[in-house]
Amino acid sequence: MRLSHRAIVALAIVGAAAGCRDSQSLPAAAAPTPLNVITPKALTSRGDAGEVVTLVLDVPADVGKIGSFTGRLIFDAAALAYDGEVALGDGTTRAANPGTGEIRVAGASLSGIDVTQLAAFRFKRIGTTIETPPRFELDEVHELSRVNLAPRLSRTGTSKVPR
């Protein structure tokens, strides 16, 4: 049986590759850092009467002004009791629907929403510790130009403000 020149070269390459095996495995490549993602955050700060949770967006520079959003603030109902919205007076129209352990929230503005304070809520502390910090999940977000930014959303959303 006669082997072609190409078959001989292929066998030589396979043999050389098998002979060059290192006993140590190579480290796995680090997962790439997602670029240009929008990260919703719930910033918690302690006030005199309880906790204030402010909903914010961490947005990359290429995102235009935010025109509207819908999402939910999820909180530990065993540790926090909803005590009302914090008036921001920035011209954004907001709607909040509080429930047990969750507040559905939406906002819209014709001139753009301040991403450093989408909405803010007051809570009374029920327990001494908060086992699960408040988390902001964003369902929809659009630029003023009506571009849907939801495909760029990160799913993290918890932070604490230094006290």
Q: How high is the pLDDT of residue 35?
A: 59
Q: How far apart are CA 127 and CA 15, in angstroms?
A: 67
Query: What is the rounded average pLDDT of the residues 31-55?
Result: 80
* Domain count for the chain: 1
**Count of CB atoms within 10 A of residue 150's CB?**
13
Q: pLDDT class for 5, splitting at 50, 70, 90?
A: very low
Q: How high is the pLDDT of residue 156?
A: 56
pTM of the predicted structure, to 2 decimals: 0.72
Q: How high is the pLDDT of residue 115?
A: 95
Residue 137 located in a structural domain: yes
Residue 144 located in a structural domain: yes
Residue 88 located in a structural domain: yes
Q: How far apart are CA 81 and CA 118, in angstroms?
A: 20
Q: How high is the pLDDT of residue 77?
A: 93
Residue 27 located in a structural domain: no
More confident residue, 125 or 13: 125
Q: How far apart are CA 75 and CA 101, in angstroms?
A: 5
Residue 8 located in a structural domain: no
Residue 113 located in a structural domain: yes
Q: What is the CATH number of the domain that holds 153?
A: 2.60.40.680
Determine the structural domain holding residue 45 and report its residue range: 39-160
With CA atoms as reference, report the closest residue to 144 among 38, 70, 65: 65
Please, is 48 exposed, middle or buried when counting C-beta atoms within 10 Å of its C-beta (0-12, 13-18, 19+)? exposed
Q: How high is the pLDDT of residue 131?
A: 80
Q: How high is the pLDDT of residue 100?
A: 94
- Predicted confidence (pLDDT) per residue in 71-128, tens digit: 999 999 999 999 999 999 999 999 999 999 999 999 999 999 999 999 999 999 887 7
Residue 68 located in a structural domain: yes
